[in-house]
Amino acid sequence: MDSAAVLEHITRLPHARANFKQLVRELGARGSSREELESTLAGLTASGDLVELRGGQYAATSHTREFATGRLQMHRDGYGFVIPDHPMEGLRGDVFLPPNAADKAMHGDRVLVRIARLNADGRAEGEIVRILSRAHLTCVGEFRVRVNGNFVVPHDERIQQWIEIPPGLEMPAGGGNPDRIGARPLEVSSAADLDGMIVNVELLEFPEARSNAIGRVTEILGYPDDFGVDVEIVIRKHHLSHHFPPEVMEQAQSFSSAIRAGELAGRTDFRGMDVVTIDGETARDFDDAVWVDKAPSGNYLLHVHIADVGHYVRPGTPIDAEARLRGTSVYFPDRAIPMLPLELSTELCSLTPRQDRLVLSVLLELDHHGDVVSQEFVRGVIRSIERMTYTNVHLTLEGDPGQRERYANLTGRFELMRELALVLNRRRARRGSIDFDLPEPLIEFDESGEMAGVRRAPRNIAHRIIEEFMLAANEAVASHLEQSEIPSIFRIHEPPDPRRVMEFEEIAAHFGHSLGIGAIPVKKYSVVDRRRDGSKVRRDIVLAAPSLAVSSRHYQRLVERIEGKPEERILSYLMLRSLKQARYSAENVGHFALAADTYTHFTSPIRRYPDLMVHRVLSSTLPGGNPYAIAPGALGTVAEECSQSERRAADAERELVEWKKVKFMAERVGEEFRALITSTTRFGFFVELEELFVEGLVPLETLPGDRFNYQENTRKIVGNRTRREFSIGDPVTVRLDRIEAFERKLQFSLAEPEPPRRPRRGPR
């Protein structure tokens, strides 16, 4: 019996609940169908879609205020939150779990919670009823030898439980030497030798209320400070697949490097055109190549050629299964974990210069306003004539004599590319597309591979050229598939939550700015919180109306107004935080930030699985393409998987960069830096160093000259006596005091002398 149909039937009933006899009667379940219904209800209960109540009733968790399913997010202090899968009436935010309420569960687990209390301000407290799925089948951490046994302390401090390693399970099969580049040989013969080392363990038993998790060591990675161990820890902490299975490698190595004549049948030949790739200096895989010209009418002709990965990676093959599992390539500062084996990602599919390569091509004709006059999608073959870098294209366009001489045959085409890119950018601006230009940190390494510094990643007109061309191609493919009513995967970005918009407006007002959305209808609550130390603190809760009308133009205009001003960096960052995350979906709801009615990802199939899916859908509509059909429900599942993979990769990349920053700062304790206050809290304020893109905390108790308090309503830290204020966006000079290496946190203090105290006057 179809589980989706049973669930839908229950959700349509009064209170979205029914007992078994009622369902048998209403669904006509007789004989074997009755047994199927029992099995279906058990499966829906196990997945958390249904919960079995007292009296034998089954209730849809998405339609009840008593239960919620979601992902558990633990805090290192022992309490946690459950992020609900579905919106819940009256609930604002997540479900709070007090300390020790999640001793059976681990951070990241998907759980079913009972709502124990729902306050008037929308905050909820709950308790875990059932663990629906485990997030961690393996765990990386430090091996500890103790009198009462051997344990692994998880590297992720949000995993509270130590993992017990029984005797005989301490040594991995095949020895303990790590296989990473630059790893030193390890002399490990017993559990005692492992003390203090980083290991990866397989969980054999999960924690219970009064018992530890049980595991066995599967890998020995080395000591915490060994070269490269930080990368290995992050890979395993985020459960990133980093070794291709034998069957995947066997298939990858079976491909011929030569394109056979039969593979060219039905393809448009672009090999006589001066097509180029433009990428960063360190890029190894080249997804896209471009060509621009003028039509006799004066319109622009833009060709965007994308590697035809789908020609090689067919549905249901080992490579396809592994690519879907990974979802995306992961890029660390000094290495990458590719989605596809190198035989494809850097060789056969990569659009390397002077090599014949198969492509899917978007051919656009655009007028001088950047509007599409005509579009065509074809299967093609190209031979890129040059591997260009952003730097070389930028220097050529800036008039560098050496570069213009070297690329004399391409200079005119680059100038035309710049012209068209600016036209496309103006077109996006007219419709309200938001164009954030936040600085990106670039980690620099010395010859030995150690981090040497952090600087702002360069960005120039060449980056803009490729960005605009890829946006145009993605949008053209998305609109074509939607108009053709062909099920596909879209890249969507939903409008922001009104509360987040309102919170940003309050901060922007301190700088004299506003999104310009007018008065915001709000509701106000005053609540009393009890702190862990037993003290109470009153705070105001302000809820924005859910009907708040905000468009991308409001953001775009503010971005333009603050350009070049001292507060630009902090307000742009806070604006970005007020928006939702973009994601993949089988249902198109538009892209808020791009102000696009329809958008998808098509241009990076070497490193993103959704792009490969879109390639298959598009190619199936073209002459000579492979037939491809997939149910919308299956597309939705792939879209959700890929959204999760994207977030996991982004978290891993961000964590490693922050870790390397902290290690870099370890030798700079005592130095002073110019910084900007990025956020304020009741325990201090966070600063970001202007030159190094490094963040840290200035604790409240270290502020000199007065006793300071945090004011919730103004988000300011204010001195009781001096009334000195610290606000978001204030420039300060700070001194690095200490580093909490394990937690990868920096602590600063204000680098200014404490003001002299006034002498007390005696009695008159």
Residues 384 and 448 grouped into a single domain: yes
Note whether residue 300 is domain-resident.
yes
Least Cα distance to 279 among 372, 340, 346 occurs for 346
What confidence tier does 538 reach under pLDDT thresholds 50, 70, 90?
Answer: low
Those residues whose C-beta lies under 8 Å from the C-beta of residue 20, and which sit 6 or more positions away, are 37, 38, 41, 56, 58
Residues 161 and 209 grouped into a single domain: yes
Query: How many angstroms separate the CA atoms of 514 and 500, rounded?
Result: 14
Q: Where among 191, 220, 237 does a domain terminate? A: 237
Note whether residue 262 is domain-resident.
yes
Q: Estimate to the nearest angstrom the gap between the alpha carbon of 33 and the chain centroid.
A: 43
**What pLDDT, on the 0 to 100 scale, is given for residue 206?**
92
Residue 762 reports pLDDT greater than 60: no
Residue 93 reports pLDDT greater than 90: no
Residues 124 and 150 grouped into a single domain: no
Print burial letters for 724-737: b (CB count within 10 Å at least 16), e (below 16). eebbbbbebebbbb
What confidence tier does 85 reach under pLDDT thresholds 50, 70, 90?
Answer: confident
Render pLDDT for 495-525 as a digit per residue (tens, 0 to 9): 998 888 988 888 888 888 999 886 555 555 5
Residue 447 reports pLDDT greater than 80: no
For the chain, counts of helices (H) and of strands (E): 16, 36
Q: Please give the full DSSP string across 536-567, using - where no structure is assigned.
A: EEEEEEEEE-TT----HHHHHHHHHHHTTSTT
Domain containing residue 205: CATH number: 2.40.50.700
Least Cα distance to 665 among 453, 350, 399, 462 occurs for 453
Note whether residue 623 is domain-resident.
no
Query: How many angstroms separate the CA atoms of 672 and 661, rounded?
Result: 16
**What pLDDT, on the 0 to 100 scale, is given for residue 705?**
86
Q: Looking at per-residue confidence, does 736 or 21 come out higher?
A: 736
Residues 106 and 221 grouped into a single domain: no
Render pLDDT for 278-298 as a digit per residue (tens, 0 to 9): 999 988 899 999 999 999 999
Highest averaged pLDDT of the listed ranges 180-194, 209-223, 600-614: 600-614
Q: Please give the full DSSP string across 73-138, using - where no structure is assigned.
A: EE-TTS-EEEEESS--TT--S-EEE-TTTTTTS-TT-EEEEEEEEE-TTS-EEEEEEEEEE-S-SE
**What pLDDT, on the 0 to 100 scale, is given for residue 227?**
85
Q: Where among 106, 133, 160 does a domain terminate? A: 133
Domain housing 270: 246-476+644-652
Render pLDDT for 577-628 as a digit per residue (tens, 0 to 9): 999 999 999 999 999 999 999 999 999 999 999 999 999 999 999 987 777 8
Residues 426 and 296 grouped into a single domain: yes
Render pLDDT for 377-411 as a digit per residue (tens, 0 to 9): 999 999 999 999 999 999 999 999 999 999 999 99
| Token output for 48 | 């958390």
The DSSP bridge partners found for residue 268 are 380
**What pLDDT, on the 0 to 100 scale, is given for residue 118?**
80
**What pLDDT, on the 0 to 100 scale, is given for residue 1?**
65
Residue 764 reports pLDDT greater than 50: no
**What pLDDT, on the 0 to 100 scale, is given for residue 101?**
78
Identify whether the C-beta of residue 702 lies closer than 8 Å to the C-beta of residue 719: no
Query: How many angstroms separate the CA atoms of 234 and 216, rounded?
Result: 20
**What pLDDT, on the 0 to 100 scale, is given for residue 548?**
62
Residues in the chain: 764
Render pLDDT for 94-141 as a digit per residue (tens, 0 to 9): 889 988 777 788 999 999 998 888 877 778 888 898 899 999 999 999
Note whether residue 381 is domain-resident.
yes
Query: How many angstroms separate the CA atoms of 379 and 305, rounded?
Result: 9
Residue that the structure tokens 């068209």 belong to: 420
Q: Estimate to the nearest angstrom the gap between the alpha carbon of 597 and the chain centroid.
A: 23
Tell me the mean pLDDT in the region 528-545.
Answer: 53
**What pLDDT, on the 0 to 100 scale, is given for residue 523?**
53
Note whether residue 306 is domain-resident.
yes
Residues 223 and 316 grouped into a single domain: no
Work out the percent of the chain whose per-residue pLDDT is above 70.
92
What confidence tier does 358 reach under pLDDT thresholds 50, 70, 90?
Answer: very high
Residue 527 reports pLDDT greater than 90: no
What confidence tier does 536 reach under pLDDT thresholds 50, 70, 90?
Answer: low
Provide φ and ψ at 197, rounded to 5°. Answer: -85, 160
Provide φ and ψ at 304, rounded to 5°. Answer: -115, 115
Residue that the structure tokens 């622009």 belong to: 300
Residue that the structure tokens 């959305």 belong to: 517
**What pLDDT, on the 0 to 100 scale, is given for residue 374?**
96
Q: What angle do CA 649, 654, 657 make, to 5 degrees?
A: 125
Please, how many CA atoms are within 13 Å of residue 519, restricted to the half-sphere of its CB?
Answer: 3
Q: In whole angstroms, how large is the CA radius of gyration of the chain? A: 29
Q: Where among 184, 212, 237 does a domain terminate? A: 237
Residue that the structure tokens 């998987």 belong to: 641
Give the pTM.
0.87
Domain containing residue 18: CATH number: 1.10.10
What confidence tier does 184 reach under pLDDT thresholds 50, 70, 90?
Answer: low
**What pLDDT, on the 0 to 100 scale, is given for residue 399?**
95
Residues 334 and 446 grouped into a single domain: yes
Count of domains for the chain: 6
Tell me the mean pLDDT in the region 429-445.
Answer: 85
Q: Looking at per-residue confidence, does 658 or 247 come out higher?
A: 247
Note whether residue 620 is domain-resident.
no
Q: What is the sign, positive or negative, of the torsion defined by CA atoms of 521, 525, 531, 535?
A: positive
Residues 327 and 469 grouped into a single domain: yes
Residues 451 and 547 grouped into a single domain: no
Note whether residue 612 is domain-resident.
no
Q: How many CB atoms lie within 10 A of CB 377?
A: 21
Residue 448 reports pLDDT greater than 50: yes
Residue 763 reports pLDDT greater than 60: no
Residue that the structure tokens 């078994």 belong to: 20
Residues 386 and 500 grouped into a single domain: no
Tell me the mean pLDDT in the region 721-727.
Answer: 92
Residues 445 and 329 grouped into a single domain: yes
Identify whether the C-beta of residue 219 lies closer than 8 Å to the C-beta of residue 200: yes
Render pLDDT for 311-355 as a digit per residue (tens, 0 to 9): 999 999 999 999 999 999 999 988 899 999 999 999 999 999 999
Residue 69 reports pLDDT greater than 80: yes
Residues 374 and 428 grouped into a single domain: yes
**What pLDDT, on the 0 to 100 scale, is given for residue 565?**
84
Query: How many angstroms separate the CA atoms of 340 and 286, rounded?
Result: 13
What confidence tier does 11 reach under pLDDT thresholds 50, 70, 90?
Answer: confident
Note whether residue 364 is domain-resident.
yes
Tell me the mean pLDDT in the region 430-441.
Answer: 85
